[in-house]
Chain A
Amino acid sequence: MNRKALITGAAAAALLTTCLLVPSFAFLSAKSPKVVNHFVSALITIDLKETLVDPETGKKTGVKPEVYENTYLTVAGRTVDKDPTPIILKNSTDCCIYVGVRNEYPDIFSIEDVNADWTLVVDKDNKLGEGVAVYKYNAVVAKSDNDQQLSAVFEHVRISENFDGKFHGASETDSAIEARAFAVQSENTAAVSDGYAIDYFSSSDVFDKD
C-alpha cells in the first residue's frame, strides 16, 4: 500500500514538474528570427565625354558623347562645338556633380552657352588656378540601376577675333582646354560640397594626370 502510494506520488510529482517545466523551457528557448545587417561600401563612378568634332570645321560629326579628346583648327572669330557631358555610371551613390574646366587662354577662348542645368561655382577664396572654372549640376543625381547621362555643361567655345595666329605660351602653335568631372556624395555634404570641389580642382595637377 505504502509502495503504491509512493509510486503514485512520484508519478504525480513528475507529471506536475513536467507540466511546470515544459512551458518554462518553451518560453526560455524561444528565439527571435536572425537579423543580419549587410554593409557594402558605396562608390561613385563617373565619366566625362564629348561628341566627336571635325578638326577642320569645329562642328560635331558624332551623334552622342563618346570621345575623350577632340582637335580643332584655331580660326579667329570662329565658334566651335564642345560639349563635355558627364555620365554617372550605374549603382553610383546619390551625388553632387561638378565639372572643372581649365582654359589656358581666357583672352582667346571663351566658353559659351552654359546649360541652364549648370551653375558656375563662386571661388570666394580664390583657390582655383588661373583660367580654371568649376560648374555644379543643379540637382542631386540619385542612385540608379542604369547609367545616367546629364546635360552637357556648355555647348560652344568661341575663339576671339583678336587671335593673331599664335599662342603666347610654352607652345606658339598648340593650346588645350581640359575638363574633368568630380562627384561627391550628396548625403550630409550639402554645406561643404562646393568647398570640397573647389579644393579638388585647386590641386595643381588635377588637369595633368589622367
Chain B
Amino acid sequence: MNKHKLRAAAILVSVILCFFVISPMLIQGTSAYIIGQSHICRANFYAEQQESSIPESSVSESSVESPPTGDGLDIMPVMVMLLFSMITIAAMRFSVEHSQQHHDTEN
C-alpha cells in the first residue's frame, strides 16, 4: 500500500515539476526576446464634402497623451499552461484510481 502511495506521490511530484520547470522553459522559448511596442499613431483623412463635420475633437484629443503599451498576451503560454494542467489532472486521477484499485484488491 505504502509502495503505491509513494508511486502516486512520485508521479504527482514529477507532474508538478514539469508544470513549474519545463513549462516556463517552453514559454520562455516562445517569447524569449525583449520587445517593446508603441501606441498607434494615426492620420485621419476626410473627404472635402464632409468639411462641415471636421472632427475638432480629434485634434484636441491628439494632445492627450497616454503611456506606451506593454507587451500583449501571447496565446502559446496559455496553451502550454492548459496542456500541463490537463496532464496534472489526468496523472492525479490515474494515481488515485490505481491506489483505490490496489486497495480494493488487497481487501
Instruction: Spell out A's residues near B (CB within 8 Å).
Output: 42-50, 52, 55-56, 66-75, 82, 84, 86, 89, 92-93, 95, 109, 157, 159, 165-167, 172-185, 189, 196, 200, 207, 209-210
Residues of B within 8 A of A166 (CB): 47, 49
Partner of A47, one of B38, B48, B59: B38
Identify 26 residue pairs between A and B in the complex whose beta-carbon atoms are under 8 Å apart, listed by A's number: A42-B34, A45-B68, A48-B38, A52-B59, A66-B63, A66-B65, A68-B65, A70-B43, A70-B44, A71-B43, A72-B46, A73-B46, A73-B51, A95-B34, A109-B45, A165-B47, A175-B44, A176-B44, A178-B42, A179-B41, A181-B37, A181-B38, A184-B33, A210-B39, A210-B66, A210-B69
A72-B43 contact in complex given A42-B34, A180-B37, A183-B35, C-beta closer than 8 Å: yes
B58 CB-CB contact with A under 8 Å: yes
Chain A CB within 8 A of B61 CB: yes
B24 at the interface (CB under 8 A from A): no
Q: Which residue of B lies closest to A84 (CB)?
A: B41
Extra inter-chain contacts (8) besides given A45-B36, A45-B68, A173-B50, CB under 8 Å: A47-B39, A70-B43, A71-B43, A74-B46, A74-B47, A93-B34, A189-B33, A210-B66
User: How distant is the Cα of A175 from the Cα of B43 in the complex, in angstroms?
Assistant: 8
Task: Report if A74-B35 is in contact (Cβ < 8 Å); known contacts: A82-B43, A179-B41.
Answer: no
Interface on B for A, CB 8 Å cutoff?
33-51, 54-55, 58-59, 61-63, 65-66, 68-69, 72
Cα–Cα distance between A45 and B68 once the two chains are bound (Å)? 7
Using A46-B38, A68-B40, A210-B39 as known contacts, say yes or no to A174 and B63 having CB atoms under 8 A apart: no
* Interchain CB contact (< 8 A) of A180 among B34, B38, B47, B63: B38
Nearest first, the 8 closest Cβ-Cβ pairs linking A and B are A44-B36, A67-B62, A181-B38, A48-B38, A69-B62, A185-B34, A183-B36, A46-B36
A182-B41 in contact (CB<8A): no
Contact between B34 and A69, CB atoms less than 8 A apart: no
CB pair A74 B36 closer than 8 Å? no
Are A69 and B33 neighbours in the complex by a CB distance under 8 Å?
A: no
Q: Interface SS of chain B: helix, strand, loop or mixed? A: mixed
Residues of B within 8 A of A209 (CB): 72
CB contact under 8 A between A47 and B54, given known A72-B44, A176-B45, A185-B33: no
Evaluate contact between B63 and A71: CB separation under 8 angstroms: no
Please tell me if the beta carbons of B41 and A49 are within 8 angstroms of each other in the complex: yes
> What residues on A are CB-neighbors of B61 within 8 Å?
69
Contacts of A172 in B (CB 8 A): 47
Among B40, B48, B54, B68, the residue within 8 A (CB) of A71 is: B54
- Least CB separation from A88: chain B residue: B36
Contact A73 B58 (CB under 8 A): no
